[in-house]
Structure 1
Amino acid sequence: MNRRYAYALSALMISGLAMAQKSELKDAERAIKKGDVQETKAALSKVEAVLSNANDAQKAQYYFLKGNFAYEQVKKKVDLDKNIDEVVASYKQVFELEKGAKSNKYSKQAEEELKAVSQIVVNKAIEANNKSQYTEATKRFNKAYELNPTDTIYLYYAASTAVNSKDYTGAINNYKKLMDLGFTGQESYYTAVEKTSGEVQSFGKDSKMRDLMIKQGSHKDPKFVKESSKRPEIIKNMALIYHQEGQYDEAEKAIAEARKSDPNDMNLLLTQMDLYLKSNNMGKYEELAKEALAKNPNDDVLLYNLGVTSYQAKKYDEAKKYYEKAIAINPKAENAYLNLAILKLMPDEGLTNKMNALGMSASDNKKYDALKKEKDLIYKSAIPDLKKVLDINKDNTEAINTLKGIYKALEMKNELKALEAK
């Protein structure tokens, strides 16, 4: 008798809980419609306390209301990141619960609201990118991809903005994901210009909608856009990041792959040369230098870069030849003139050390005077190149300061005064 009574009492308690849940869910629904934040939170909190006793339909309704409440806050831009995360998490529960129950009572609206949230996130990402707030843009594009895993273009944008913010780890991680997903970015879509705003609007794959807008007169200039593959760019960026971060083995693999995609990219070729330079593989370095010159024998920028890499390799005579060739092709090659002057001034430190090491004997004084003459000749040899730099760019501070030092050392007071007056 007692046992049967206990069962009956238990059934009544569960029934009472279910009734309370229905009531609180209705209260939450009404509060959301009214826009009453505190009332909604209180009602949802009461349901959450007894959620373990709810059936799947009630749980789905609870998570839908929770997500819908967060969605309303997102629209008002209240605690944007927190509420976006809440929308995603809550609606994920709705989808799982209704999929198991083979129902779509709440899923359809949840999907529509997720799309709307996604668009808000994308717009915020674009806004941040346009303001050069690249860290914020990266975060938003990553979230947009999380909301739309099939729209891999957002992952690509997240990687690009990460590069701009110098978050190279984040960029590499996203590029790797894109490579694993087989992303190419080789898309085609229909566009038209909206007459009122003058902006190009994409209609995606929907040519009929685009054509309808043209027919109605709200749009003009219809186009079919076919973008080239972004894969070579991704591989190239990975190679350059690895190179910059000193991960030379990874960089070498990526560059070799990138050059297969774009063998004529001079930046990649120069980066590959620099890698061989750093690993002291001079045979490969010189092989690539010949390849680079064969491709662009009259490219003054290439010649200048070869001068820089030769200088770094301590091949100073080669560096001098490259700088002189760059100048012969482009008489306004400012940096080539400056580096040529620096090359000419290189013996200065060694001569100064020798002079300072001498004693005060007659023999040492004679040696000192000879070294001083040699030092002065070096200074004088660099003056024309530094003047050329200033003819091209009067504000080049390195050239100005170096020339001032030379004029002081050579006691060229009039020249120094004239330079300081500029």
Structure 2
Amino acid sequence: MNLYISNKKSKNKYNHLTVNENKYKNENDHLKELADKDLVKKDYIPAQEKYKKIISSSPQKIPLVLQSYERLLVKDLENVSLKMSLVDISFFIEDWNEARYELEEVIELDPSNIQAYLLLARILQRKDIKDVVRLFEKAYNHVDEDEIIDGLVSSYVQTKDYQKAIHIYSKMLDKKEQSPKVIKILAELYTKNKEYNKATETYLFLFKNDKACLDEVVQKLEELLQYVPDNIFIMEALAETYLAEMKPELSLKMLEQTCVIKPELCDETIKKIKKILSAYPDFIPAVVSLAYMYLKKHLYSESVMCFTKLMKDNSRYIEEAIMGYQRVLEQCPEQVLARQYLGEAFLSVRRIDEAVEEFSKLIEYNGQDAGFVMTKCRSLLKENEQYPGAHLLLAKCYYVRNEYKKAYDECLFLISNGNSDHIQVENYKLLVQVCYHLEKYEDCKKYLYAIIEFNEKEKDLHDFCNAYAEKIVSAKFDQEKILEQSSPHLYNYYLGQKYYLTNKLEDSIKAFQISARESKYAGLSYYYLGLCFKARGRFDLAINQLSRAFEYEKEANNYAAMNAIKYQIGLAYESMGDLKSATEKYERILENDISFSSVKTRIKEINSMSWANTAGKALLGIKREYENSEMIVVWAPNKAQRNLVKKDKRAGMVMDISFSQSHNDEGVNHFLKGRIKAAEEEFLLAMQLDQSLTIIYNNLGLLYLEKQNNEEAKKFFEKALEDNPDMAIIYANMGLMHYMSGEMESARELYNKAIALDPKLSNALLNLGDICYHFNEVDKALEYWEQAYSECTLPELARKRLLFKKSSFKLEEELIDIK
């Protein structure tokens, strides 16, 4: 059925306006006659213009105009042009239903009529955009023209169906000429769909196809970056387009930002910065950036060359180059090229002392550069022949070239002139090394002492001095090695001393046991054996060895040595808790020398202890060396012991706990002699007999610490503290547990608590000093070690810590020359 005919009644709505065509012929009537003739002749556009004039001046004539079209359409129902002319009139009089009806018929007759689709879309859009979408999708199946595609895409955009719109334009790019317009629209569609990387790719594609669009592309990419500020892909695209815009500073900024956000892009960034430099060779910021990129990649030589280019190309950037070299050396101190150029940079800005320092480090890392550095030294000395820095540096050059005599002479020249403390200390350090190679070992010791006199509080100097002290001992031992065959006992005496100084106590004991077989070396050998066993916590064996040493010195009537040995025996007894035997030894010393060491103080301290302080032996753990995890145990006075007697509430009577103490003390004796299993059994038995005796928990905690069972140790220490929170020894032992586990801060807190409760707990000061030294609190460490040396029962351990840290402690006191 023809839609036009079926809708005939709707057209007759204007019939009541019909007038007699023979009446009132006027201008409009004449114009209508002309229009009708045009319409019959198919001159539709002139006809449309005339009809519009008539309608504009006489709206009542609309029915007559429509009747003119109706008469012709009845005769020619498939005349598409005539229908489109009627559509034009319908649009003019805003009769949308009539226009829609006619357009639908046109599309049915001519599915490829673009104009019909476009006009119908305008009508449908007034009501429902989805109808427009369906219309253009239908049109797209019949017509592949820009107007239809644009209409379809526009409708997709209005319904926010961006993906379909993108699909349409992507197909266009594949099929048709890649016009800038299509590319721009596609990029915008990607942006609307939040596919920012795709949008970026499309804008870059636009730029590559049409260089004239560069400014627009940059603007669009900048807008995209505002949506996603950390988008690497957009930044890289901007870097590329900025460079094309001849804006290298903006390009570089983008590349640097990408590397900050994603450091793994460093390799790619380096390539792109090189591209900037190939276009702008003198662009200094790019040189700097490239240098730091190389630094991130640990490509130190490449980084150095960039900074060097910076310095050579423009003297204004020397400070920048200096900072760059310093950054390289922070990461790679052995980068000799950076040191060389840094030294030269310092020279160029007359920062002479800093230049000398860098050249000094240069030859430390690479002795082959000594010739180059010597040239610099001589240039500096031409300017100022008294300049100490240059003389010291020249001496170092001689040293690394093995010209020890010349180095020695330069160093002596510096001493004779007098210089700053820093120069003198460095000079003495060099003299120690030079004298060592010249085998002037006594001079070595002299200059080591001189170093410490200048500065007792510098850990690096302590390490240097200790290292060379060991070297001196080893060198002197090597000198005596010729005795191995001719005098093996003397040879072993020196060998024992070497091991004693380096804390290799087991090897030292073996050597001294051999040297003691020769009677003329026996006295001192037994003395050292006593010190070795004492340092290992075997006080019973130490007493035996020291007693044998005493007998040898007694035969020689060496009263000073006899007193020293008796003092060590007394300290050993005191370390075991045998205060009676210790006091006897101290009093025998007073009979011969009333001013000997701290004997009177020790006797007074022992005599001041109450029965409660000594009843039931308590043990204190000590880390033997600063750089060794071995623990030894000593007796310590129990100044907060409570509950020595407890009431049995059930029986209402007082129960003597001496049995419990007896087993505890037996356990202590086993522990001190290294019989750990037997000690554990005695302590556990003591605990079963009396669970209120605090020292048992303390001693068990220490025993499990010795067995490296920190969990059990902690449990018993905490039980001891729960029973007696004022017992200093427990805090010290817990501090030791934390110290040996590397928990230095908590260890320090516990040791400080222990010393606050009992300032006389002098053996604990050894490890409190160690902890302070770890935290670089050298003043406190030296103070605690000196106090321990004066007051504790293990002064030799304190003295070893103080050797080459305090100038008053000499190597000769440790190593007695048998000759």
Compare relative contact order (CA 8 Å, sep 6+) and give the higher one, 1 or 2.
1
- TM-score (norm: length of structure 2): 0.29
Larger C-alpha radius of gyration, 1 or 2?
Answer: 2
- TM-score (norm: length of structure 1): 0.48
